[in-house]
Every structure is written in structure tokens, then in C-alpha cells.
Structure 1
């Protein structure tokens, strides 16, 4: 099987096993077992690493005498210290995936799994409160849990064999995406379509510094940012480094995120616990270099009536009935002096004049913190039909650390509504790699960033346009890209207008004549059948 076929086969089988259990309930034990298989395989791989070090003359742990080395293997592989030094989770024997798999037909398997997860958390402080420990409450038919473990046992992770791809990470993300499609509207609580995440990351280009997501869900922004950093280290010939910070409102979703980070070998500070970013901000002193977020759209019950005097509202008090401009100002308040933010919001945020939103938008534009606006296609999200856009904010639009071209007093508008040519299903589209590069390069050329392909930026009718703040003011500080980019220029077909008009008129006349002939034939046939003339 290819990697894609493996993921698809595993998902189809796992989904079939859930029976009548709702996807929203089922995803936690499934992803918890994927994580257990991953950490168990990593533990086994580390045991082999320890043994190889004992026999390697270049290693600090080399033991020359064969008999002594063999005797020492058990002591070394049973010492938690030798796992901690390589950031590998310690897995107690009774909690190992394969040991539990051997008990898959036991009537109390669910209770054994709950106990195993507790043992792992006790031996690994980083995982405290993270793992799923409610298998015994899961309403699966008898034997289904053992079947699920048998299915996931087909996954194999060997760091030596798969150094170039994290199979478990890919399976984890794939399952997240599939559960999102199953859950529909509720999926917005934990999942942002990969296509949207990729676009945010390609434009924001997080490489070195602090990254923050105040509505981090299952952590997709963090994982993709780390991949971007890794992919560009060789190109830029320098070492990237990202410190991850985030916050999540839902306790169960926060656990998904922490597991996702662990599966990808990433450390993150998600605060002391889950909580409301507005009322219980756990990163008040943070000043991030990159903010990426897909906060919940248009939420009305966000506690705005209790936060009227909050110092984050520099550009105006957000309306109590909509949190969009609360999110924008919160993220702006968390940016460092060089910081930039990429935020997914509903299209209404670009033009709304209700409850003072237009005044807040005007203040932000006049303060020159709005850097780029991107209009998105309407079918990118499987879980909402609300049209969305991307806001990019910047604390420093001058020539320097964020780009070689001074863009002070300017805003880049990109209309990407027709730029997604990939298709996931009949009702959902996605950006292809070519689509992503076209959009991202428009931005990077405009800024003259390190990630530009070197070509000069140029306005492209129907797609991108640089507007001065004076132009934005003429449009009443409405930030909808379609108002600025104009219409796409049609290719010149070298046919004179008069000739084209004459040709099209003749073509229309010919088609109308054929239509009249068909009408006569139809009337004749109907008459023969007795339906009148």
C-alpha cells in the first residue's frame, strides 16, 4: 500500500467499527489509540537506539566487553533516564500497545486502557491531563474496541526506516480531517481545512521567533508552521526556530492539540489549562512574532459586556453581539514590534458598519496595521457556508526585517475567490500547490521578503492590487478586495470589434432559425399525437 492508501483503508475500517456512536464522541478514543500506538513504537525504537549505543565504540555508553554489555542491556533499556534524554515518552510495560493488544478480547479491555493511559500520564508529566481516559464510558458494542486496536496495529513507525515522513503524524491529521467532514458544523471547534492553514502559513512564513494561536483547536497551525520552517532551512541556509504558544476553550480539543504536538515531536505552551481567551487570557505578557488563527466566526456570546474597559481595545470597543473585532484587536495586542498576524474571519468583517465595526476598521487602517486582505473561495470550508477572508496585520510595514520594500501607507488586496482549482468533493474545493504559490508569491514579491522568488511585484487586474490609504478612505474603509483589484483583462483575440459583432450576430440568427425549425417539428409531432397545434 501507498501511504495514502493506508490512511484511507484505516479510516474506512475505523469508521465502520463505530456503528451508532457519533463521530464527535468517537474521535477521542480513536485518536487516543493512534497516539498510544505511536508512543509505544517510539519507545521500542529508543530501546534499540540504547542497545546500539552500548555497542558503538564512538558512544559515551560503549561497553567493550560483550558479556558485560549483554548483562547491561536490560538495566539500560529499563532506565527512564535514557528515554528522557532523547525526549521519548516512557511507556510502562502494562501500558504498551502490544501488551494491551494481546488482551484485546478481554471483557474489561476498556478499563485496562483507561488504567494504561493513567500510568503513562503518571510517568510523563508533559502528558498529565492530556490522554483520553474514558474508554469504559464509550458505548461501543462488545469486541469493537479490540477490533479497533487490531486495525491500528497495522501502523508501523520506525524512525530509521521512515526518517523522511512521519506516518503517525499524517494518519493523525488525516483522521482529524475525516472526523471534521463527519461532524459538519461542529468541526469548526477543532479543525481548519488544511488548504486554508497552508495558505496562512505560506503568506505569513513563520521561520524564527514566537508563534501564537489564541483559538488553537487541534493545533494544525502549529504543525504546518513547523513544517514550513523545516522545509526552508536549507533554502535560506540558516536555522529556524519557533516557540509555540496557544490557548483553547474546550478541554477535549486542547487534549487533541497536545497529542498532535507530541506526535510531531513539538513542544508547546498552551497555558495552565483550557479557557476563554477573552475572559481568561493565559498569555497576557506574550508578544509574538507570528499569530495564526481561525477563531470562531461571528460569535455573539463572547462576554463583551464584561470587558468594555479592556486595554486590548485600542481601536474601539467591539460590539457585544459579535466578537470579530475583538479577535482582531486581541491578536494585534499580542504582536511584537516586528510581529505579523494572519486571521481567518467572516467576509462581513471587511465591510460591516454595524455597532461601531466600521469605526474600528477605519482606525486600524489609519494606524497602518492592516497589511493585506485576501478574499477566499466560497467552498473551502466543509463545516460552514459563511464566506470567509484572511486579514494580515503587521506592526512593521517598513523596509527591514519583514521585507526589503517599504509598504508603509499601503494595503495589498488579493482576490482569490477563483484561485482554488483543486476539488475535495462535489461541495468542497481546495488550493493546489500552484494556487498557493501564486497567492503567496504575490505577497512576498510585494514585500520583497526572503521567501520571494525574486520577480518584481506588479498589480494584476482581477487578482491583486496595491492601494494607498487614501484610496481605501475613498472606499469608506471597506476592505473587500473586489472593490480594488478590478476586472480580469480578457486575452486579446486580435479580432476587430465590428467583425466580432457581425460574426456573433450571424451566429445568433442561425441558432434562432434552427430553434424555429425545431419548434415547428415539435408542434407537428404533438398534433399527430392529438395534443393540439
Structure 2
């Protein structure tokens, strides 16, 4: 009797999926793209899958409540239930990213073998892009950021000039749904000792307490909070 091919067996899980073959296929898809660039494609898809899963979970919760005759949110008509489950406000109230149908994972998955899958993914990412607001104190970085956003067709407002976020907030009335925060607080602009705090003692952004003048950490945290909408979240 021939001995089993242990190598083949070890490369498959209980469901029969050959992970090595799948990884090789993923590498083939990368083509001539540098690995440092390909990671951004993977991260984009991972982000899309995550927000899609979160959206679908919330949608299922809504449909369950709308379908339960004992629920105070019960809706008898099935078409009206489906329509109610698409209400953006329901998702915003739960801090869930609302996704249009073309950006939902099941839509992308259904077209995975299509020769136009690249365009499908691009359209999905484009459908969830929102206007970007921000500012940058360094003039060169500010110019490069504007060019990069313009090249990618992303609607952006980085202010009419470069400026320091503390000393000259270019978007004082901005209330955003998402505010990005750096993961590593040891990086600038955190832990700044010379951030000009002595000149900003009466700033409207300090809602909780006056931040210390020798460390910008609490000032940045309150800056983020100040620019969040009532249903906004800070993400990293």
C-alpha cells in the first residue's frame, strides 16, 4: 500500500483547504507589485471586510427586531422591514459605518471570479470614501498630502495653508464622525513639551480640564473629542 503524502496532508486543514496553494495564488495576484505596496491593498480589503461584517451584524439585529411580533419595533410588511433596515441613522446611532450595497462584502464575494473584480473593489472603496479634513504644520508635507489626495480623487480640505493645529485650528467648527488617532503615543505630536500651552489656557477645546503646559497628550485628546460629532468615534 502506498504511503500517504504527509506533505500534502499537512498543508490542508480539516476542511480540505490547501493554505499553501492559496498563499501562492495570492502571491501570484501580486504580480510585479512590490510587497510594500501590496500590503496597502490587503489592508484596504481587511478594512472593507471588517466594516462590512460590523454592518451586517447590525443589519441582522435590526431585521430581527423588525420581524419579531413581540418587539416594539415590529414591522408587519416585509418590504418595509427591509427598507427600515437601510436607515443610516440606525447605524450612526450605534457607531456603525453604513455601507451602500455595492460596498458590502457579499456583493464583492459574488463577483470574486469576475475579470473585472479589480474595478468592483475600486468602486466599493470609492463608495465609502468621505471628505477628508485635516491640517499640517509643515509646508512641504501639507503640499504633498494635498497632491496625494488629489491624485486619488479624494475630496479633501486641508485648509488654505499649513498651520499648527493647536495655535491655529483651521476647522474650528468641524464635527466629524471619524477622527484618526495614532496608535503609538510615543510618536509626535504626542509627548510634546513645547506646544504653546501657556498661550491657550482659555481655549474652547478644553472641556474637561486644563491640559498641562509641559505635555501635549491631554491637549490632543481633548482636541480629538472637540472635533467629534455626537455619534463620532476616534479610531486608530
- What TM-score results when the alignment is normalised by the length of structure 2? 0.49
Structure whose alpha-carbon radius of gyration is higher: 1
Instruction: Select the structure that is richer in strand.
Output: 1
RCO higher in structure (CA 8 A, sep ≥6): 2
- What TM-score results when the alignment is normalised by the length of structure 1? 0.25
